[in-house]
Amino acid sequence: MLRPIKICIISRHVKVRQPHILSRPLITGPPPNIPPKHYQTPTSTPLPHPTPLDPSFQPDPETGDGKPLYVPGSPAERHASQGRRSSPLRRGMHESWWAKEMGWFNAVAKTIPTFRILDEEGNLVKDGMIPEVCQTHLQLSFTYKIMTLIPVVDNVLYQSQRQGRISFYMQCAGEEAAIVGSAAAMRSGDEMFGQYRESAALLYRGFPLNSLMAQCFGNVEDLGSKGRMMPVHYSAPEVGLHTITSPLATQMPQAAGVAYALKLDENRQGDCVICYFGDGAASEGDFHAALGMNSVLGGPCIWFCRNNGFAISTPIIDQYAGDGIASRGPAYGLDTLRVDGNDALAVLTAVREARRRAVEGQKGVLVEAMTYRVGHHSTSDDSSKYRPVEEVQEWTVVDNPLQRFRAFLVNKEWWSEREENDLLKKNKADVLKAFARAEKLPKPKLGEMFNDVWAVAKGEEVPHVIIEQRAELGRLLKKYGDVWEPWRRERKRYVEEGEDVMDCASRGS
Amino acid sequence: MPPRFSLPCRSASAYFSKRPGPSVLGRLRGQHVDAGLSSPRRARAAPSPPEAQGVEGEPSISENQLLLSSAQEALATPGLHFTDGHGPLGPTGRGRQTRRMNLYGAIREALGTALGSNPKAVIFGEDVAFGGVFRCSMGLMEEFGKKRVFNTPLSEQGIAGFGIGFASVGATAIAEIQFGDYIFPAFDQLVNEAAKQHYASGGAYPLPGGSLTIRAPIGSVGHGGLYHSQSPEGFFLGAAGLKVVIPRSPIQAKGLLLSAIRDPSPILFLEPKILYRAAVEEVPIDDYTLPLGQMEIVRPGTDLTLISYGLPLYTCLNAITLLHDPPATLMPLLPDKLRPPRPISIQLIDLRMINPLPINSVVEAIKQTGRVVIVHEAGPSGGVGNNLAGELGRRAFEYLEAPIGLVSGWDTPVPLTFERFYQPDVIRVFDKLLETLSY
């Protein structure tokens, strides 16, 4: 289910091809009479096969008109065009017809296809669409640049966590196309809710490397969380990123709220929300609450699922028994698409279209990007305990989002080996420079611990519990800050070495 | 007097040696580089500890006198009841075996014992099938099968509700919430349903034999920040009908967890996550329980009662040691009457269960000393400390010789970079002891 049929292995190296685009037939899945091939690894254990509508089930010819189960337009529009008539329509939201026999089903359509533009080698699929974005390659090459930057960032920070230089890190290896491709489809005024693995989207939106590093080190330049949050928990209103928090799916109903606010705000017509979440988060109650509220109340929102096969160790076979996350879109009446998450061009094209639908219809749109989490869940995880290392290696070789997209750009003569080499050098230099800088900076003032707990209106006082507790720590620091060795050492890490808290009269800076 | 009550005899130099023994975090790190110690679940999986944030200069948890390192001490644990009905000498009369185990090993042992002794028991939660992010269910799926040890979809409210339903028909549900920080989606199911089920059904549900236990790791690890270091136990204090248990060590954890699993009330079993690897004890390998709902006096004393539960008990014991044997730099801060060799005798109490509070026995204990300091990691507002202090103030007012002291986190979220100054550490407890003793 997760993985498309592989028919060839591509080389690790950039292939410079003839300028004309090779094309091959679109892979649509196994023909119906051949059982699908199943791999014996947890992610590819066969899901229960969705049963399409019973082919023998037909609308009653006398009362039905053979219309498909779902039709475009809202019930109100249909009601206006068709008038009131005796129909199940009056008892529910969707087009239906009276039937004399039971027609059980457990899928709303036949198995949901996965949209792609490029195959694993980066060639356009035969008779596939040539998206509008291909008319200019500037955006595509910028997308590619960010896709190549993030592995360098991830690598440096991952290794630094291993050396104890930062406390935690999460990589996005394997999901670069899904994350950057979707970010590329959004516009600068849009709002973004991340789960926690979308730092590449943040970089695409112009979040500086220095700020990213500052957050991961929790140093004095971490303006987002002022050293309070774990690494990768960015907060960047300047690029529309709402604060990342660790709980899963909590961002989703919030995104629905933002979408509704955009819908009401005359000055923000044309803006859109994108909300990222994973296959695991979609099991939380908040997922259903969010889609339900957004579908009823409206507001432009793209629900972007990174279906990477795992929630920490839990494979999707333990996560859901239906047809992925996409099958849930129609349940809420949302326009829905499943896309090959390792095909940057398809993701970009799909999310552009999703954005158009969301903004024009002032409604939610669900996109499920099928990808694979090549990295460990986080630095606290060792995925070899629950999935074969070979499976991971196979993904990096057989279906590598970076290589696919690069091959396409090279085919089109929009990218060259020289540019590639220059970019890799530049990325490495930029990242190491930002890293070195961030590591040298001290931690914020100790008093930041007590600031911002309650939002305080101008002219109002900080609540007394905070003032008193801050003063209590100040008193203790004055008494023990020099004579108690662990504290003497520890407070040196902070700007002003805790002196700001020792000023007991201070009401926060 | 059994050795476990003997005064810790660590010298002051232990606090100041240039190269202290490996710190707690350092140890964790050394043993398990890819530790499940941390797992922002999500961002989950508490982060592995960076060296810079280790608690250098303080004795490590594993060297703490709270931990029983001999089989003899372990088998003499007060209240320990072997399920086979025989005493510490066992059915053969030749004694019983113990094994060195850390906290997650002891939890795993208890879970295995529960599954082995009760065919109607199941274990479930996020990522438990491969062993759990904290390794508490390691090997159990292989041993007891996928039907009894299984992953659930990622939904805490689902896990809690599923557990309530499973237990309501007479079976035993042992659920894991991956982090205490993520228990809030389950709050409705726990507080409105689990806690009230027995009352609402006139005592009919759960049907006989039904039992629900929810395990979750809590507490600070020094670098978990807002969502991996919380101590959410205070939120459950008002949930009458729900029992909240917090063990302090491997021996305690195994016995209390087995009691919890066999108790008809729904139980929230909160495990201090930093102890998973750091706390090691000789744990009896046979099936045994410890009494639920009884506090334990882990050190007798007459001058002051120090009350805590879970991880801060280790800090408390270190603070007592520090008070008995302060380094030269702290000596000037001690009032004359507290300077060594004046023997100050401090009683240390492990509450073990915070809802319902074992209030009567605590009141009796503090009547003997007249001075009380309570220590916990969660912030003061809405926490165990204020709840307990209120009861003690009402019930033992005339016995108190000083205001009840509270050393806790602050009323802020747990801030990553400042976590060392958020946690109630040894010097803060030390200071409160000075203040309360010299009042």
| Cβ-based contacts of A489 with chain B (< 8 Å) | 56-57
Residue A58 lies inside a defined structural domain of this protein:
no
| Cβ-based contacts of A485 with chain B (< 8 Å) | 15-16, 57, 329
| Cβ-based contacts of A199 with chain B (< 8 Å) | none
Is A401 in the same domain as A454? no
Is A390 in the same domain as A346? yes
Indicate which CATH number applies to the domain containing A235.
3.40.50.970
> CA-based angle A246:A249:A251, to the nearest 5?
80
Residue A494 is classified by DSSP as B
pLDDT band at A72 (very low <50, low <70, confident <90, very high): low
Is A137 in the same domain as A223? yes
Contact flag A230-B227 (C-beta cutoff 8 Å): yes
Range with top average pLDDT, A9-13, A248-252, B20-24: A248-252
Whether A51 has a pLDDT exceeding 50, the answer reads no
Say if residues B320 and B208 touch (Cβ distance below 8 Å): no
Q: A386: nearest CA in chain B?
A: B130
Whether B18 has a pLDDT exceeding 70, the answer reads no
| Cβ-based contacts of A312 with chain B (< 8 Å) | 39, 41-42, 44-45, 126-127, 133
Q: Which of B35, B181, B226 sits opposite A228 (nearest CB)?
A: B226
Whether A113 has a pLDDT exceeding 70, the answer reads yes
Average pLDDT score over chain A:
85
| Cβ-based contacts of A230 with chain B (< 8 Å) | 40, 43, 47, 223-228, 416
Note the pLDDT tens digit of each residue in B190-246.
999 999 999 999 999 999 999 999 999 999 988 899 999 999 999 999 999 999 999
Q: Which of B416, B428, B431 sits opposite A230 (nearest CB)?
A: B416
Mean pLDDT (whole number) for B125-132: 96
Q: Tokens 């292995």 correspond to what residue?
A: A9
Distance from the Cα of A366 to chain B's closest Cα (Å) equals: 20
Residue A12 lies inside a defined structural domain of this protein:
no
Residue A51 lies inside a defined structural domain of this protein:
no
Residue A62 lies inside a defined structural domain of this protein:
no
Contact flag B185-A285 (C-beta cutoff 8 Å): yes
Write down the pLDDT at residue A273: 98
Contact flag B48-A232 (C-beta cutoff 8 Å): no
Is A473 in the same domain as A370? no
Dihedral sign for Cα atoms in the order B391, B392, B393, B395? positive
Is A229 in the same domain as A321? yes
Q: A489: nearest CA in chain B?
A: B56
Write down the pLDDT at residue B308: 98
- Total residue length of chain B: 439
ipTM of the complex: 0.87
Q: B379: nearest CA in chain A?
A: A469
Residues with Cβ within 8 Å of residue B267, at least 6 apart in sequence: B212, B213, B214, B242, B243, B244, B245, B260, B261, B292
Write down the pLDDT at residue A36: 45
Write down the pLDDT at residue B32: 33
Is A454 in the same domain as A433? no
Distance from the Cα of A381 to chain B's closest Cα (Å) equals: 6
- Total residue length of chain A: 509
Dihedral sign for Cα atoms in the order B119, B120, B121, B127? positive
| Residues of B noted as catalytic | 156, 228
Token pair, residue B73, equals: 């001490």
Contact flag B45-A380 (C-beta cutoff 8 Å): yes
Say if residues B359 and B382 touch (Cβ distance below 8 Å): no
Contact flag B329-A484 (C-beta cutoff 8 Å): yes
Write down the pLDDT at residue B234: 97
Contact flag B34-A165 (C-beta cutoff 8 Å): no
Distance from the Cα of B334 to chain A's closest Cα (Å) equals: 12
Is A435 in the same domain as A473? no
Whether A141 has a pLDDT exceeding 50, the answer reads yes
Q: Which of A225, A280, A469 sits opposite B410 (nearest CB)?
A: A469
Write down the pLDDT at residue A56: 54
Q: Which of these three, A415, A440, A465, is where a domain ends? A: A440
Whole-angstrom CA distances from A326 to A114, A333, A337, A352, A433 are: 10, 12, 7, 17, 42
Is A465 in the same domain as A422? no
| Cβ-based contacts of A231 with chain B (< 8 Å) | 47
Write down the pLDDT at residue A96: 63
Token pair, residue A364, equals: 């939610």
Q: Which of B39, B422, B431 sits opposite A381 (nearest CB)?
A: B39
Contact flag A318-B158 (C-beta cutoff 8 Å): no
Of residues B35 and B378, the one with the higher pLDDT is B378
| Cβ-based contacts of A232 with chain B (< 8 Å) | 43
Whether A504 has a pLDDT exceeding 90, the answer reads no
Whether A201 has a pLDDT exceeding 70, the answer reads yes
Mean pLDDT (whole number) for A412-437: 96
3-state helix, strand, coil in chain B (%, to 5): 40, 15, 45
Mean pLDDT (whole number) for A77-91: 52
Say if residues B224 and B180 touch (Cβ distance below 8 Å): no
Cβ neighbours of A129 (radius 10 Å): 13
- Residue type (1 letter), A454: W
Range with top average pLDDT, A79-83, A380-384, B257-261: B257-261
Of residues A319 and A63, the one with the higher pLDDT is A319
Residue A55 lies inside a defined structural domain of this protein:
no
Is A479 in the same domain as A404? no
| Cβ-based contacts of B34 with chain A (< 8 Å) | 376, 380-382
Write down the pLDDT at residue A135: 74
Across the A:B interface, residue pairs with CB atoms under 8 Å apart total 234
Give the range among A109-113, A160-164, A184-188 with minimum mean pLDDT.
Answer: A109-113
Distance from the Cα of B230 to chain A's closest Cα (Å) equals: 12
- Could you give the CA distance from residue B236 to residue B233 in angstroms, rounded to a whole number? 6
Structural domain count, chain A: 2
Distance from the Cα of A331 to chain B's closest Cα (Å) equals: 19
Q: Tokens 């007012």 correspond to what residue?
A: B397
Element of type H or E holding A364 = strand A364-370
Distance from the Cα of B8 to chain A's closest Cα (Å) equals: 20
Q: A277: nearest CA in chain B?
A: B42
Token pair, residue B408, equals: 């806790």
R_g of chain B computed on alpha carbons? 21
CATH class of domain segment(s) B61-289? alpha beta
Cβ neighbours of B304 (radius 10 Å): 25
Whether A62 has a pLDDT exceeding 50, the answer reads no
- Alpha-helix runs per DSSP H in B262-301: 275-278
Mean pLDDT (whole number) for A130-134: 78
Residues with Cβ within 8 Å of residue A439, at least 6 apart in sequence: A160, A165, A213, A217
Residue A176 lies inside a defined structural domain of this protein:
yes
Write down the pLDDT at residue A505: 56
Instruction: Extract the runs of DSSP E, i.e. beta strands, from A233-315.
Output: 241-242, 273-278, 301-307, 310-311, 314-315
Q: Which of A246, A320, A472 to mutate to test the interface with B (most CBs of B within 10 A)?
A: A246
Q: Which of A387, A446, A484 to mutate to test the interface with B (most CBs of B within 10 A)?
A: A484
> CA-based angle B68:B73:B76, to the nearest 5?
125
Q: Which of these three, A394, A414, A440, is where a domain ends? A: A440
- Alpha-helix runs per DSSP H in B76-180: 103-117, 140-144, 156-168
Q: Is A293 helix (H, G, I), strand (E, B) or coil?
A: helix
Q: Which of A47, A221, A380 to mutate to test the interface with B (most CBs of B within 10 A)?
A: A380
Q: A493: nearest CA in chain B?
A: B417
Residue A201 lies inside a defined structural domain of this protein:
yes
Contact flag B155-A284 (C-beta cutoff 8 Å): yes
| Cβ-based contacts of A387 with chain B (< 8 Å) | none
Whether A509 has a pLDDT exceeding 50, the answer reads no
Whether A317 has a pLDDT exceeding 70, the answer reads yes
Whether B33 has a pLDDT exceeding 80, the answer reads no
- Could you give the CA distance from residue A292 to residue A21 in angstroms, rounded to a whole number? 43
Write down the pLDDT at residue A79: 58
The three-state (H, E, C) secondary structure of A93-150, written as one string: CCCCCCCCCCCCCCCCCCCCCCECCECCCCCEECCCCCCHHHHCCHHHHHHHHHHHHH
Write down the pLDDT at residue B39: 43
Domain B296-438 has CATH 3.40.50.920: yes
Average pLDDT score over chain B:
88
Whether A264 has a pLDDT exceeding 60, the answer reads yes
- Could you give the CA distance from residue A480 to residue B340 in angstroms, rounded to a whole number? 19
Is A200 in the same domain as A320? yes
Token pair, residue A119, equals: 């195959």
Give the range among A480-484, B90-94, B340-344 with minimum mean pLDDT.
Answer: B340-344
Write down the pLDDT at residue A372: 94
Is it true that the peptide bond before B206 is cis, omega within 30 degrees of 0? yes
Say if residues A123 and A21 touch (Cβ distance below 8 Å): yes
Whether B6 has a pLDDT exceeding 70, the answer reads no
- Could you give the CA distance from residue B381 to residue B378 in angstroms, rounded to a whole number? 9
Contact flag B154-A314 (C-beta cutoff 8 Å): yes
Residue ranges of chain B assigned to CATH 3.40.50.920: 296-438
> DSSP readout, B373-391?
EEE-SS-STTSHHHHHHHH
| Cβ-based contacts of A287 with chain B (< 8 Å) | none
Token pair, residue B192, equals: 């409105």
Could you list the residue range(s) of the whole structural domain that residue A159 is in?
A: 132-440
Say if residues B385 and A413 touch (Cβ distance below 8 Å): no
> CA-based angle A255:B182:B142, to the nearest 5?
120
Distance from the Cα of A204 to chain B's closest Cα (Å) equals: 21
Write down the pLDDT at residue A39: 37
Write down the pLDDT at residue B342: 78
Write down the pLDDT at residue A105: 77
Q: B329: nearest CA in chain A?
A: A483
Neighbouring C-alpha atoms within 13 Å toward the C-beta of B376:
31
Of residues B51 and A417, the one with the higher pLDDT is A417
Neighbouring C-alpha atoms within 13 Å toward the C-beta of A292:
6
Note the pLDDT tens digit of each residue in B271-282.
999 999 999 999
Is A298 in the same domain as A272? yes
- Could you give the CA distance from residue A227 to residue B69 in angstroms, rounded to a whole number? 39
pLDDT band at A111 (very low <50, low <70, confident <90, very high): confident
Write down the pLDDT at residue A159: 95
Q: B25: nearest CA in chain A?
A: A164
Q: Which of B48, B51, B410 sits opposite A379 (nearest CB)?
A: B48
Is A241 in the same domain as A382? yes
Write down the pLDDT at residue A133: 75
**What percent of chain A is predicted at pLDDT more than 70?**
79
- Residue type (1 letter), B248: R
Residues facing B297 on adjacent strands: B349
Mean pLDDT (whole number) for B74-85: 96
Residue A240 lies inside a defined structural domain of this protein:
yes
Contact flag B50-A165 (C-beta cutoff 8 Å): yes
Whether A14 has a pLDDT exceeding 60, the answer reads no
Whether A74 has a pLDDT exceeding 80, the answer reads no
Q: A385: nearest CA in chain B?
A: B130
Residue ranges of chain B assigned to CATH 3.40.50.970: 61-289
Contact flag A453-B421 (C-beta cutoff 8 Å): no
Whether B340 has a pLDDT exceeding 90, the answer reads no
Say if residues A351 and A182 touch (Cβ distance below 8 Å): yes
> CA-based angle B229:B297:B430, to the nearest 5?
55
Residue A156 is classified by DSSP as H
pLDDT band at A65 (very low <50, low <70, confident <90, very high): low
| Cβ-based contacts of B333 with chain A (< 8 Å) | 479-480, 483
- Phi, then psi, of A277 in degrees rounded to 5: -160, 170
